[in-house]
Amino acid sequence: MQLKKKLILTAIFILTLIGINLIMTKPVQAVNQIVSTDIESINEQKYPGVKKMLQELKGDHPNWNFKILYTGLNWKEVIAYEYMGHEGSPKNLVPATAKCEGDWICLSCGRDRYYDNGTWRCASETTIQYMMDARNSINNSDVFQFMELTYQEATYENIQKMVAGTFLDRESYINAIISAGKSYNVSPYYIVALGIQEQGRGGSSTASGNYPGYQGYYNVFNINASGNGNDTIIRNALSYAKNKGWDTLEKSIDGGVQQISKSYLGRGQNTLYFKKFDVENSDGQLYWHQYQQNILAAQNEGVTIRKAFEDINAIDSNYTFIIPLYENTPKVAQGKPSTTKTINTLITDLVRVNVRQTIALRKSPAGEVISGTSLYANEIVTRLEQATQKVNGTYWDKVMKSSGTIAYVARETYDYESEYKLYLIPVAERNTSLDSIPQEPTVPEEPPKQDPEPPMDNPFKPGEKLPSGSEEKIKIEEDVKQVTVTPSATVEEILNLVGDNVTITDKDGNKLDKNAHMGTGCKINGTYTVVMLGDVNGDGEVNSGDTLAIKQHIKEVKKFSEEVYIEAADINGDGEVNSGDSLIAKQHIKDVKYISLQK
């Protein structure tokens, strides 16, 4: 899932809000998975160390039961899908504290890149491997993140001991917890652990009932606590509570537990681990439906449950734990990340996109362009396959965006282009910059004897000059397959430039004749995307609707969902959408000064 923003609300509450918001990416179809209760049948060659660890735990706690989930998922693939969203919406974050320095921090984003409210950093691949490998948590301290969260009997006295000294320490709250657990088949112990994880022991603004504008509303589990900035995050959570009618903390407990049961436990994500890492396929899909970004949350909540059981002398009761196993895991589990050292190697092939604005994605090597999505400048994506042979004059690598979209993209310029440029630059070492990587090969391995023919979907001849007058209205950007035009440019002028055999379609795929309006999102031969400066809704005009949309984007009321409209809104070409662009659009509408291409 896009990253849902969360904010720490009090010092005690420092690690709680990176919680309940869904982290959704494009779903991946699941594989067949097998669940077994037979510890003795675990293949020690395929899953080294697991059998012995479980045997030892079972010996220490005879009443504990273990299920083995054979996920059928390749370890490297799992890590690749979790190590996504760099510099945008990372799937996994670590707190920006002394305990999570060094190799805890993402190699790509670095120590100086903060997320959410400025107290979180992107988790490193090493951290993800450490937290996801069950062998690091099959012990008395951390195993409760694998405990089944379905309902188990809990007395009033036991829950009272667990909530003592917290914001939940009230008779009506305790009764609400037990009642919701029974009604929705959720462990009351888990409900308490989640509430404390989300709110801290003292509670926060979303559970106080007195936040300005939302007095009398409560959101114990911070559902829909998203946005940019403290106030926005809290208001979104409490607006959700108001819409749900949660005008008491008891109603918030009941409604929140109902949603968690339906959205997670009911779809097979019935352990803290599975809520954090969507590797269980009861819903037929993987990696997309994750409860939180805080990579430590599952472990922390599990520790809270364990301590509660210890406090009520119930640690040796009958519990069931589900242990996930992956294919091709390392013989030795990843060690705990160092806080003083860094490891400059990756098993995931991350690349940074080295283009000026965007570059097209295709369904196959040199194939059909995928509309509505592209790679943008400095975006970090996962390279799944690196091409070894050229197609139509360049290499086409298979990549995956943080959204889960998988497609092909040109790794470098075409053979016929006079200047060489590498579009996909490996993220090989921490703090590597684009400037430090050569943009041109020193000696070509095998220079072509002659330039190959340009791809069939390229209607623009390399080096061709625009007809007189058109250069003020039309700009062709071959590297990103984009044609930027002013509002005064016409379809006929494009046809005069490239010939009558070119097809121009609107954003919905309808063919345009030479007298039609051409707007942002139009396609030329299905390959080149048209960006009309100032036209941010694709209707081929610049009017008050566009200035309103630009204003809403600047104020983050409603941000543009596609990169092409952001480029159309950046009228002055400074790389940002701001009040300067809005002013130019207004001047154009009032005939004070018309929009023109920036030199």
Where a domain ends, among 385, 413, 433? 433
Answer yes or no: is 22 within a domain: no
Answer yes or no: is 248 within a domain: yes
Structure tokens at 69: 């989930």
Q: 152, 148, 145: which is closest to 187 by C-alpha?
A: 152
Instruction: Name beta bridge partners: 136.
Output: none
- Domain shared by 290 and 377, yes or no: no
Return the pLDDT at 121. 92
Answer yes or no: is 173 within a domain: yes
> Rounded to 10 degrees, what is the CA torsion of 83, 89, 91, 93?
100
Where the chain has pLDDT below 70, the residues are 1-30, 117, 227-229, 344-345, 428-472, 478-479, 494-501, 514-517, 598-599
pLDDT tens for residues 479-496? 677 888 888 777 777 666
CATH number of the CATH domain containing 418? 2.30.30.40
Answer yes or no: is 74 within a domain: yes
Q: 1, 136, 132, 145: which is closest to 75 by C-alpha?
A: 132
Structure tokens at 159: 């829950």
DSSP state of 267: G
Structural domain including 548 reads 470-589
Answer yes or no: is 193 within a domain: yes
Distance separating alpha carbons of residues 259 and 24, to the nearest angstrom: 17
Answer yes or no: is 533 within a domain: yes
- Domain shared by 201 and 290, yes or no: yes
- Domain shared by 188 and 288, yes or no: yes
- Domain shared by 503 and 398, yes or no: no
Rg (CA), the chain: 27
Give the Cβ contact number of residue 481 at 10 Å: 23
Where a domain ends, among 415, 433, 451? 433
| H, E, C per residue of 541-552 | CCCHHHHHHHHH
- Domain shared by 232 and 147, yes or no: yes
Answer yes or no: is 156 within a domain: yes
CATH number of the CATH domain containing 534? 1.10.1330.10
Where a domain ends, among 327, 360, 386? 327
- Domain shared by 546 and 414, yes or no: no
- Domain shared by 206 and 309, yes or no: yes
Distance separating alpha carbons of residues 326 and 279, to the nearest angstrom: 10
- Domain shared by 139 and 256, yes or no: yes
Return the pLDDT at 337. 92
Q: Total domain count for the chain?
A: 3
379 near 352, Cβ under 8 Å? yes
Answer yes or no: is 179 within a domain: yes
Q: What are the residues whose beta carbons fall under 8 Å from the beta carbon of 278, sequence distance 6 or more? A: 269, 285, 286, 287, 288, 289, 290
Q: Given phi > 0 = left and psi -120 to 50 = alpha, else beta, which region is 378? A: left
- Domain shared by 181 and 239, yes or no: yes
- Domain shared by 188 and 49, yes or no: yes
Within a 13 Å sphere around the CA of 487, how many CA atoms are in the beta-carbon half?
22
Specify the pTM.
0.60
- Domain shared by 414 and 513, yes or no: no
Contacts 24+ apart (CB under 8 A), 36-45: 36/67, 36/68, 36/70, 37/65, 37/66, 37/67, 37/68, 38/68, 39/66, 39/68, 42/68, 42/325
- Domain shared by 418 and 270, yes or no: no
